[in-house]
Amino acid sequence: MKRLLCSVLGSLLALLAYFAGLPWAALRLDHRFGLVWRLPFWIEPVAALLILASVAQAAWFFWAYAFRDDGRPNHLTPPEQQVESGLFRRWRNPLMLAGWLCGAGLACLLRSPSLLGMVGMVAVAGTFFVRREEEPGAAARFGGAGMRAIARIPRWFVIMLVAAATAAALPTVSVDRPAPARAARPAVLVQIRCKPGTAYLWRASFEQYVKPAIDAAIARGDSITDFEIIESALPSQPFDFILLYTGKSFAEFDQPGSFHHYAELFQREGSPQALNALKEMTSYEDQVTVTPIYLADQPAGAAVNRPAILVEIRCKSGTALLWRASFDRNIRPAIDEVIARGDSFTDFEIMEPALPGQSFNFILLYGGKSFAGLDKPSPFPHYVTMFEREGTLRGLSALKEMTRDEDQASVTLVHLNGTR
């Protein structure tokens, strides 16, 4: 046991550097250069078995050196007796082979092409180290027996294995194009909950009086640039309508006054008619919440009655920045890829309040073609894409990290009607 402990401690720093330092650096290189390694999901159990087999191989190596001979699995304390049993009958350095197999399996689990390249370079460097240092030392210590063993066992097997694995991996590696910078646009989000049975009356008054004034204000382009009305597709939701006004700047609130579309409404209808319209609409309203927000989106053209999924997220105190960083790093690239394919989502908007103390930290709005995708139980397409990009380990880690920061999340089916 003492020899085994000495063997483990002698190689501890190398193990930490190989199995902790290399993956850490490789994942950052992947993120820095946008490298994506797409592998079929069946590769993950194969990689896990490969790691288990390499660990068993390394354990045998430690045992063979520490108990059966008077040496350590460390080139600084080489064995005094030549080992020719077990794996040494076929491999010159079973520990180096086990290290590469374990590193390659870990690279497949993490979907990290940089890690595969790094462990390959370590294996190649180790092969040349064995050629220049260990083989001459073995020949000097063991004489003819050492030379016969060196001549019998293939020298370049590990290098050929590394080259074959790298050649097979290269076609499955792609580079993400840098996403265009998304400037946060100022917007005002108005959540409206109507009294029971009055939502359709409110909507009729809005379409008759307020919507034409909004369209006129957008056409002038002096304040409101985009408008979207979000209507709940299901009953008993916390809101009936969400009005999303996008503008150029919050500076228009520097002076007291009404929204520009209200001014347009009074100009179009006259004061008596406009006041009656607003009075009629407010009589239907049970609660109205106005929130200034920042909006970063990937807009589509205006469409009538587009189906969408609205996700409202409230984070735990002090974790909103962490949640947003995890979302932008892991989820947002998958959403962009799904939108680019055009098979489910057509556009995406993320809304973030401009002031603290609001009832939500983020609103995610996924615009799509149809709700038919919900007919069968299945994960959202961007989650499927994320797992294809990141692998099971990194995908689950990202979701765990984000849900840890969430205090409450609500999902609502809505209809969109926008003017851009």
The per-residue pLDDT for 143 is 57
- What does pLDDT average to in each consecutive run of 10 residues of the chain (420 residues)? 57 77 91 87 89 82 60 51 57 72 90 91 80 62 55 65 84 77 81 92 92 86 83 85 87 66 82 89 92 73 71 93 92 91 86 88 90 79 90 90 93 78
Asked if residues 44 and 108 have their Cβ atoms less than 8 Å apart, the reply is: yes
The per-residue pLDDT for 70 is 44
The per-residue pLDDT for 302 is 46
Q: How far is CA 206 from the centre of its chain?
A: 40
Report d(CA 351, CA 362) in Å as an integer.
6
Closest CA to 373 of 345, 397, 353: 345
* CB neighbourhood size of 131 (10 A): 14
The per-residue pLDDT for 311 is 93
Task: For domain 2-175, give its CATH number from 3.30.1490.20, 1.20.120.1630, 3.40.50.10860, 3.40.50.80.
Answer: 1.20.120.1630
Domain positions in the chain: 2-175, 185-419
pTM given for the model: 0.74
The per-residue pLDDT for 71 is 46
185-419 has the same fold as 2-175: no
**Helix, strand, coil shares, percent, the chain, to 5:** 55, 20, 25
Report d(CA 46, CA 168) in Å as an integer.
16
The per-residue pLDDT for 297 is 63
Q: Does domain 185-419 have CATH number 3.30.70.100?
A: yes
The per-residue pLDDT for 113 is 92
172 phi and psi angles, rounded to 5 deg: -95, 0
Pairing of strands 173-175, 35-37: antiparallel
